[in-house]
Structure 1
């Protein structure tokens, strides 16, 4: 039987050895923005675990996925996602990372190879020294992402289909990879679909 330190989706390792990189702000994970800071303060709870759960559930349930809403904002900068309250998975993962980092909780970006590149998050828990995946895509159309604090309990939006060469990448990125960022910048507001996304990293 697998231990609590074993993820059903494979191991994770940070791309950067500097923990500060997973608390940093940049042009996409812009957690210095006043709206991000204000919402982070509203979501703060008594413990880091309770805060992370409330933040994850807020992004999962209160920020619409563009496909579900039938409204394609093309927002991917965290503060823009919050303003539009609508984004694809990558925008939602940027917002979750920004809100967690604003709380002092180390958070990074993870990816899953589906038909196109799917974006999710990982949170670092200092008490155990483990990264744990979270997928705030939104639980519609069969998706079923849940909160977890140990790798063995990771429950993500979509299961891999090995027959379609689907898998999880093992890296936790502190910032959006350039190939993905270039694709996100090509999206057109109001245009359905994911044709601008890379199929893999």
Structure 2
């Protein structure tokens, strides 16, 4: 899928903010540990960061752990989050090592969060879905084509949003910060962008 960045300023896709707090010591420490196993290869680092978030931070619904995380450092500290929170952590880890990354979304039964990455030398952003695998879900880090957790079904009103955001969408941040439990969280995310 071709993504349209919200800004042509690539530095926006490397920036830290309150949610993508890639200057936080835990984010920096985790990034450094992952980078040490990548032998200086940016693609290998991006894959390691992706697989770390996908495989070691469970999706809240899969483990029925409803501590609602939002900030990247909190996701890494509490080791749990929904797709949006996991996306925040992955983008922070990528940006901590100078890899441009941003946020993109799908409208499924609720709003689903993904990221996109652009490796040095590439002109294209490639979406990645670190939601976490389970039976029926097999998302993989791929640079040649997308292998996301969920296909969209337009006949059911689902869609891929073609916009690449430099910051998490305010609707998502508000939902994660206001929800007091899963029912309220899904209600807040039952929206279109």
Q: Give the TM-score normalised by structure 1.
A: 0.90
CA distance in 1, matches of 2:68, 2:179: 6
CA RMSD, 1 decimal: 1.4
List aligned pairs for 1:1-201, cutoff 5 A: 10-44=1-35, 45-46=38-39, 47-150=41-144, 153-189=145-181, 194-201=186-193
Secondary structure of 2:94 counterpart: helix
Inter-partner Cα distance in structure 1 for 2:179 and 2:50? 25
Residues 130 and 139, structure 2, Cα contact 8 Å, conserved in 1? yes
| Runs (5+) with no aligned partner, structure 2 | none
**Mapped partners of 1:190, 1:105: distance in 2:** 32
Can you list the C-alpha shifts for 1:135-172, whole angstroms capped at 9, x where unaligned? 0000014211111123xx11000011122111111111
Cα offset for 1:184? 1.8
Partners of 1:185 and 1:138 lie apart in 2 by: 22
Deviation at 1:75, TM superposition (A): 0.3
Distance 1:173 1:48, change over 3 A: same
Higher fraction of helix: 2
Shift of 1:179: 2.2
Separation in structure 2 between the aligned mates of residue 55 and residue 25 of structure 1, nearest angstrom: 17
- 1:27 Cα offset (Å): 0.3
Provide the rounded CA distance (Å) in 1 between the counterparts of 2:52 and 2:159: 26
Q: TM-score, normalised by structure 2?
A: 0.94
* Contact 1:13 1:131 survives alignment (8 Å): no
Whole-Å separation in 1 of the counterparts to 2:7 and 2:139: 26
Post-superposition, which runs of at least 4 consecutive aligned residues in structure 1 deviate over 6 A? Answer: none
Q: CA deviation at 1:195?
A: 1.6
